[in-house]
Amino acid sequence: MDKRFLQDIVVLYVEDEQDVLKLTSAILEKFVKKVIPAVNGEEGLEFFKKYNEQKSEQETIDIVITDINMPKMNGLEMIEKIHQIDHSIPPIITTAHTDSDFLKKAINLRVRGYVNKPLNINNLIDTVAHAAEPKYLKEKLEHFNSELQEKIEEKTLELRSILDSQDNMILVFAGSEISSANKTFLDFFGIDCIEKYKKSKAIYESFIVEKGYFSTTAKEWIDQIVQLEDTKRVVKMVNFKGSERVFRVQVRSFVFHTKHYVVSFTDITELQEYNNKLQYQATHDNLTKLYNRQKFNDELHKEILRENRYQHSLSIIMFDIDDFKMVNDTFGHDVGDIILISIANVISRSTRVTDIVARWGGEEFMILLPETSANEAVTIAEDIRKNVASMDYEQIDKRVTISLGVNSFVANEDNYDSFIKGVDIALYKAKNSGKNKVVEYEK
């Protein structure tokens, strides 16, 4: 047995023979941390109380070695009283006594070892080691567990502090059930513990159903969202104040008995609004708020591909404002801008949601009409012409009119260039045959 652990052991040694006490103590001190000598049971008990019961700053006694027959208080009586204070203290008896009553009492007191007199020091050290090892290992394990628990609590607190300091909302899932949430998440919903949230709804039930955002009714929503492209892992939720916020969702998984997920919700509301603003500016005319030329061309190419495949009819209207240069030169560009805006509003009211309306450039406008025949397009163009001509302006004393060209797409014959060229020719004819009229392109 490795006896190095004895260097951490404090021994109470009780012996009424002074020479034996002195000699044995000196030898024991070479193996153990400290020996506390006592000449009888009464003194030994007092020492034990001093070191153990009073919780002094000194080392506590770990093991008791005692003779049996001693004045004032014998060894067994002392052991009995020590066990009333601490029953875990292992006692060792040094004796030449063979009386059966003493031996029976010693057994009842859970004596851990016997060393016959005269003492054999090797036997004594071995007996001390065997008796002290279980208590030493138990205390060492308890100390280790205590330190481990403190470290676990410290790391848990550290992790909780890290999570709570995050601006992101963070959830930990065990399977499909939330097991933990950080303070940012709780604050978003105005609650103080995750159990309150779990009682009211599941997280996916907080996702707003809206085009462009992820939503679902399935408990397996995490599996669904991780299948999406990163740019589509976006959800919208309402906080406890009623404010809508947009979040990008990130998912990390790990396995601990069962599958767990760490889900992070990053608030991108302002970024989304800025992105929407940039996207709007990139696709819309700043003055009229209609689509710009680039956006119209993008949509036109899509509709041509669709028309070549399904042949559901596709028409286009192109128009410009008659004598608009004269209006600008006479009344100023501010008045010209008012007229452009007013006509844009007329077009928006005169077309369908599925129609694509754009400012083509200057005073020219385009209207793309999906699933619309030539006759239907001419009717729509005529209505727009009449609506524009009927408008009054406080800034000018004359009517404003428009000339319109109409063209219908022939599937698998026309292309982008021929389609645009045809409607441009029709508009040119309208302008050069009296203006304020609708002309259909003749194939």
Domain ranges of the chain: 4-142, 169-272, 284-440
Can 133 be counted among the known catalytic residues? no
What was the pLDDT predicted at 88?
A: 84
Fold agreement (4-142, 169-272): no
Strands laid side by side in the 244-256 sheet: 177-181, 169-174, 258-267, 244-256, 234-238
Phi and psi at 399, nearest 5°, equal -75, 145
- CATH class of segment(s) 169-272: alpha beta
Catalytic residue among 229, 363, 382, 413: 363
- CB neighbour class for 342 (10 Å; exposed up to 12, middle 13-18, buried from 19): middle
CATH domain 4-142 topology: Rossmann fold (3.40.50)
Instruction: Find out if CATH 3.30.1330.10 is the number for domain 284-440.
Output: no
pLDDT of residue 105: 65
- Give the relative orientation of helices 121-164 and 18-28 as an angle to the nearest 10 degrees: 50
Separation CA 145–CA 157 (nearest Å): 18
Say if residues 25 and 44 touch (Cβ distance below 8 Å). no
Averages of pLDDT over each 10 residues, the chain, 443 residues: 79 92 91 92 92 74 89 90 88 72 62 77 82 72 73 67 81 88 92 89 92 92 93 94 95 82 93 90 96 96 94 96 94 95 95 95 97 96 96 89 97 94 97 96 89
Q: Is 333 exposed, middle or buried (0-12, 13-18, 19+ CB in 10 A)?
A: exposed
Q: How many residues does the chain have?
A: 443
pTM, two decimals, is 0.57
Selection from 317, 305, 325 nearest residue 383 by Cα: 317
What's the N-to-C CA distance of the chain in angstroms?
Answer: 109
Residue 54: the pLDDT is 67
